Each structure stands twice: as structure tokens, then as C-alpha cells.
Amino acid sequence: MKIAVFAGDGIGPEVTHEAIRVLHALGLNDLELVEGDVGAAAYRKHGHPLPPATLAIAHDCDAILFGSVGDFDCDHLERHLRPEQAILGLRKELGLFANLRPAKVYKGLEDMSTLRPEIARVIDMVIVRESNGDVYFGEKGIRTLPDGRREGYDIMSYAEDEVRRIAHVGFRTAMGRKKQLCSVDKANVLETSQLWRDVVIEVSAEYPEVELSHLYVDNAAMQMVKSPGQFDVIVTGNMFGDILSDQASMCVGSIGLLASATMAEGTKGLFEPIHGSAPDIAGKGIANPMAQILSAAMLLRHSFGKEAEAARIEAAVAKALADGICGGDLGGSHGTAEIGDAVLARL
């Protein structure tokens, strides 16, 4: 089990440290961790947010545990040198196109949600977010028009094969759950979304057992806080999935709780919390490491088929939460290391 560890910036190293402690505690005897620099930390050391040596480690490993990247001091840099290019570059270079973001309320923990408990109680969804295309990776720039005004532009596009492969992931994920798939788009306005919808409908013919529905993204955002329990699996594009998953995190209780897996065609995957480097709390020892600990669980499940170990980690996190262990993001006062200790004790 060769795992690349790219801790990155801000709270990335803080939360990753706790996840590594949890991985070690499982006593897996063939665990090999290889560290690499990413983000602003890598830019400062090597002049690039995703240096060739880091990319080589990523190619060589079976899975990647990724912290977070981002540093406001780097926001003036040319786009290709910004910290965020590390995660975007890894997703693209390794063909990591299927970003799975589960959002589930644990039994008895519905009070953590910012929604009313009776609404939050039934939340159990997976957002399947495409992560290799969309407006993220199209031609972009800031140009000067003939009359001297500046204009920013980002081209949004999806090729049919890109939609087809993520649609298959959506349908397969639904087949393993309640067999309900909701495709989210903006087909009433965008041609990219019209093709998305057409292709999802074509693929649905191969999954007659799955009940397919469609929502426009604005309505989906509203439905997610109105009755989030209606969602089983959501499949959507890169940008809509980015936004909806942050929203889903608060339906559960905190962005510090949501883990993610980003898979390529095989078992190779990148595992990271959905949150960023949180510069406002970095260095204070108060970040919630649970999202990253749960990402380590997803890594064991999705890249190595270690379901029992993954479930053990998830149960330990749920138990810690049930015992009232939580940080400031959930109204508590436990620090990052204390939360790590609490999860380890329950493991």
C-alpha cells in the first residue's frame, strides 16, 4: 500500500497529521507513506505548486492523501503558479474524473445540522461530481476589447464521452444504494448542460432499475435545504458539484466533516476533505481533522478494498461525535490533536 501524502498549505498539514496517526493505529503491515510538496508550500520551495518530483510520486503511488492548498499571499501570481493548480493539475494529469462526496447525518447527531433536526435526520446522499472538465479547464483569460474595456472569459464545455463516463459512475453508485439518481444541470440556459442531460438520458437505458430525475441547479440548491432527504445520489458537473457539496456539508453540520474520493478509471484515487486551507484558523490547532480522517477511511475502501478498516474509522469518528467531542466549527472547544486523540481512543 504505497500512499502519497501531500499535506499542502494552511490547515492541510494539521489535519493530515491526525489522519496519518489513525492510519498507523490500524496496524496495517504493508503501509508505505511517501511525502511530497504541493501548493504554496511547494511554490516557495521549488517555484511551482505541483513540481515534477511531486507528480512523479503521485504517478508511482496507489493512492494519494491530499490535505489542502491555498494561500491568499499567492493570489497575485499568474494562474498557472497559484496553489490551487496543484489539486487541479493532479486531477487532470492522473485522469481523476469522479469526485465522490458523501454527506450523511449520523444517528443521534442531527442537532449538528444548521437545518432543523427533523429535516437533517434523513440526510444520506452522495454527490458524484465530475472533476476533469467543465468551465474549470476551458480556455480562459482576461482580454482587452477594441474599445479598451477589459473582459474576463472562461469557456464551459463537456464532450459526450466525459459526460458518459461520469454518468456511469452516478448510475453505478445509485445501484449500490437506493437506486435513485438525480442529475443536476442548467439545461434551460446552457448548451453544455443540454448535452449533459441528453447523454445522461442515453446512459440511463443501461440502468433500467435506477430511477432517474433531473433538476436545474438553482432548484437543486433550494431542494437541498428544503428536504435534503429526497437525495440519494446526485450526479453533476465540476462547478455545480463544487458549490452543492459545500452546501451539503452544512446540512450535515460542518465543512470539517465532509470527506471525498476522486477516482480515475481503476482503483487509483486521491482522497481529501472538501474544505480548503482555512487561512483564518491555520496554525491555531483548532481545525477539525475529522473530514481528513474520514478521507483516509475512503482511501482504504476505494483504493484498497479494506472495507472493515474503513468502517472502523467511520465508527470511531461517529462515536467521538456522539460523545460530544467537537471543535469550534460544531460549537465545541476541542482542538485538532484532542479530536485526533479521541478518535484514536475509540478506534
Asked if 22 is part of the footprint of ligand IPM (rule: CB under 6 A), the reply reads: no
Catalytic residues: 136, 186, 218, 242, 246
Residue choice 5, 112, 234, 291 for contact with ligand NAD (CB under 6 A): 291
Q: How far apart are CA 43 and CA 50, in angstroms?
A: 8
Asked if 7 is part of the footprint of ligand IPM (rule: CB under 6 A), the reply reads: no
Residue closest to Mn ion, measured at CB:
242
- All three cell numbers of 34, joined, read 511517501
Q: Which does 279 bind (CB under 5 to 8 A by kind): ligand NAD, Mn ion, ligand IPM, none?
A: ligand NAD
Residue closer to ligand IPM (CB basis): 259 or 330: 259
Q: Which residues lie below 8 Å from residue 152, measured CB to CB, with a gap of 6+? A: 140, 141, 142
Residue choice 170, 276, 335, 340 for contact with ligand NAD (CB under 6 A): 276
Please say whether the beta carbons of 288 and 330 come within 8 A: yes
Which of 323, 321, 326, 320 has the alpha carbon at shortest distance from 342?
320
Calculated CA dihedral for residues 161, 269, 275, 83, nearest 10 degrees:
-80
**By CB under 6 A, how many residues form the interface with ligand NAD?**
22
Helix axes 84-93, 52-60, angle to 10 degrees: 40
Residue choice 84, 130, 162, 314 for contact with ligand NAD (CB under 6 A): 84
Q: Which residues lie below 8 Å from residue 5, measured CB to CB, with a gap of 6+? A: 16, 20, 33, 34, 35, 36, 64, 65
String of contacts with Mn ion for each residue 235-274, x by CB under 5 A: -------x--------------------------------
Asked if 280 is part of the footprint of ligand NAD (rule: CB under 6 A), the reply reads: yes
Residue choice 71, 232, 242, 329 for contact with ligand IPM (CB under 6 A): 242
Asked if 84 is part of the footprint of ligand IPM (rule: CB under 6 A), the reply reads: yes
Please say whether the beta carbons of 220 and 234 come within 8 A: yes
We find the least distance from the C-beta atom of residue 246 to ligand NAD, in angstroms, to be 7
Q: How far apart are CA 14 and CA 291, in angstroms?
A: 12
**By CB under 6 A, how many residues form the interface with ligand IPM?**
6
Residue choice 88, 126, 203, 296 for contact with ligand IPM (CB under 6 A): 88
Residue closer to ligand IPM (CB basis): 84 or 314: 84
Asked if 279 is part of the footprint of ligand NAD (rule: CB under 6 A), the reply reads: yes
The DSSP line for 89-133 is HHHHHTT--EEEEEEEPPTT-GGGSSS-HHHHTT-EEEEEEE-S-
What does the buried/exposed string (b/e) look like for 133-162 if buried means 16 or more CB atoms within 10 Å of the residue's CB? Answer: bbbbbeeeeeeeeeeeeeeeeeebebeeeb
We find the least distance from the C-beta atom of residue 46 to ligand IPM, in angstroms, to be 19
String of contacts with ligand IPM for each residue 192-231, x by CB under 6 A: ----------------------------------------
Residues facing 281 on adjacent strands: none
Binding site for ligand NAD (CB under 6 A): 11, 15, 68-70, 84, 87, 255-256, 272, 275-281, 287-288, 291, 327, 329
Which residues contact ligand IPM by CB under 6 A? 84, 87-88, 242, 274, 276
